[in-house]
Amino acid sequence: MTITRRGALAAIGANLAAGCLPAWAQQDYPNKPVRLVVPFPPGGPADVIGRTAGQAITQGLGQPALIENRPGASGNIGADAVAKAAPDGYTLLVGNIAINAINSHVYKSVPFDPIKDFTPICSVVAPLMTLSVHPSVPANTVAEFVAYAKRNPGKLGYATSGLATPHHLAGALLCQMADIDMISVPYKGASPAVTDVVGGQCPVGFLSLSVALPYHRSGRLRILGMVESTRASVLPDVPTVGETVKGFEMSNWQGIFGPAKLPMSIAQTVYRECAKGFNANRATLESQGLGVMLNTPEQFAAFVAAENDKWARFVKALNLKLE
């Protein structure tokens, strides 16, 4: 059978329309700069993650990875741009638990499907979270705190960086699992939340380790426990909350995603370089309160699906809906 140039181009177009790339295009990846979309403003954990991943891709694959900050709508604007991009590996997303597992169950309108519209490539880090209290709270352990909260139902407020954030849901989850009654106090970001816990205006906070640690070391607040399932390397003597409240854990995970139908060969290539880069920078990242967690594309896809199921059920039980 003779294949004409027009026929070959038509076949390539059909493959692209179906979300597939010709084998030669995959083998040639990357042959131009890669765009890495960070759906939050510069300076935060997502930006650190994006630049670490970008450096790894640049060094490992020989093409520059260009960071593009596209904040807005709790990360949904930047994520939507990646969801609608061509699945060729040249547009990637720094996603997280909120964008890829929580937002679609909380907001009435999200412009993408967190499962169908993305290809999970690899988890990379989790910005570690803490259960922290003002020194006036008469508790030095998680067990003492739970007992104190039980004696004061509905009287303790817990500060978070906003409604429907991982910090908010971690507090709600602890209330459910420990059978305590606290009031969620959402702030517009981590800085005002930690400021009010340190100042005593709000006695309890579910705070990122990176913002709570300096105040813990100076004695201006007390970190009682880590929210994740493992202890933090920078605070090895501080237990996890789950060591007292059995089964409790939450990971504020972040990872790299591509659009749906990204060829697995490209996903594996990006995963391999990111794994090298994040392992090489593990000590530095952990000193900044970022726990390194690396999963393959297959492992990460299964993890993201399980996280969607988990938080869909929990958000429904909370009856939490935002515009």
In a domain, 22, yes or no: yes
pLDDT digits 0-9 by tens, 251-288: 999 999 999 999 999 999 999 999 999 999 999 999 99
Do 69 and 89 sit in the same domain of this protein? yes
Query: What share of the chain in percent tops pLDDT 70?
Result: 92
Closest CA to 253 of 120, 97, 105, 134: 97
Question: Does 116 fall in a domain?
Answer: yes
CATH of the domain at 282: 3.40.190.150
Pairing type for strands 129-133 and 118-127 reads unpaired
Confidence of residue 304 (pLDDT cuts 50, 70, 90): very high
- 101 band by pLDDT with thresholds 50, 70 and 90: very high
> How does pLDDT run across 43-57, given as a tens digit for each residue?
888 999 999 999 999
Report whether pLDDT(18) > 50. Answer: no
Please give the span between the terminal C-alpha atoms of the chain, in angstroms, as a whole number: 57
User: Tell me, what CATH number does 191's domain have?
Assistant: 3.40.190.10
Q: Please indicate whether residue 17 or residue 60 has the higher confidence score (pLDDT).
A: 60
Instruction: Average the pLDDT over 121-144 and give the result.
Output: 97
CB-count exposure of residue 24 (10 Å: 0-12, 13-18, 19+): exposed
Q: Is residue 74 part of a domain?
A: yes
Q: 158 and 257: one domain? A: no
Is residue 2 a part of any domain in this protein?
A: no
Contact between 111 and 221 under an 8 Å Cβ cutoff? The reply is no
Distance CA 248, CA 244 (A): 9
Q: Domain for residue 6, yes or no?
A: no
Q: Is the pLDDT of residue 235 over 70?
A: yes
More confident residue, 5 or 253: 253
pLDDT, one tens digit per residue, over 72-92 is 988 999 999 999 999 999 999
Residue 162: alpha-carbon gap to chain centroid: 15
With a cut of 60, say whether residue 224 has pLDDT above it.
yes
Q: Give the residue from 190, 221, 243 where a domain finishes.
A: 243
The band of 16, judged by pLDDT with boundaries at 50, 70 and 90, is very low
Would you state the pLDDT for residue 253? Answer: 96
Q: Are residues 67 and 144 in the same domain?
A: no
179-201: pLDDT as tens digits: 999 999 999 989 999 999 999 99
Do 281 and 297 lie in one domain? The reply is yes
Least confident span in 27-31, 99-103, 139-143, 255-259:
27-31
Domain end call among 243, 271, 302:
243
Q: State pTM to two decimals.
A: 0.87
Q: What is the pLDDT of residue 206?
A: 98
Q: pLDDT at position 323, please?
A: 77
Percentage with pLDDT > 90 across the chain: 86
297 & 200 share domain: no
Instruction: Kindly state whether residue 8 falls inside one of the protein's structural domains.
Output: no
Q: Same domain for 121 and 134? A: no
Is the predicted pLDDT of residue 219 greater than 50, yes or no?
Answer: yes
> How many structural domains comprise the chain?
2
Looking at the structure, do residues 223 and 310 belong to the same domain, yes or no? no
Asked if 157 and 187 sit in the same domain, the reply is yes
Q: Are residues 141 and 114 in the same domain?
A: no
CA gap 70, 120 in Å, rounded: 19
- Kindly state whether residue 4 falls inside one of the protein's structural domains: no
At 179, the amino acid letter reads D
Q: Report the pLDDT averaged over residues 122-133.
A: 96
Say if residue 24 is in the same domain as residue 111: yes
Least reliable range by pLDDT among 16-20, 157-161, 231-235, 270-274: 16-20
Whether residue 28 is predicted with pLDDT greater than 60 in this model: the reply is yes
**Residue at which a domain ends, from 197, 221, 243:** 243
Residues 228, 146 share a domain: yes
pLDDT score recorded for residue 290: 93
Q: Quick one: pLDDT band at residue 14, thresholds 50, 70, 90? A: very low
Is-contact 170 310, C-beta < 8 A? no
The whole-angstrom distance between residue 270's C-alpha and the CA centroid of its chain comes to 18
* Backbone φ and ψ of 240, nearest 5°: -80, 155
User: Using 50, 70 and 90 to split pLDDT, how confident is the model at 22?
Assistant: low
Do 173 and 28 share a domain, yes or no?
no
In this prediction, residue 17 has a pLDDT band, given cuts at 50, 70 and 90, of very low
The predicted model gives 206-221 an average pLDDT of: 96
The range of the structural domain enclosing residue 147 comes to 129-243
Residue 25 has what pLDDT? 52
Q: Is 9 inside a domain boundary?
A: no
**What is the rounded average pLDDT for all residues in the chain?**
91
| pLDDT value at 9 more than 90 | no
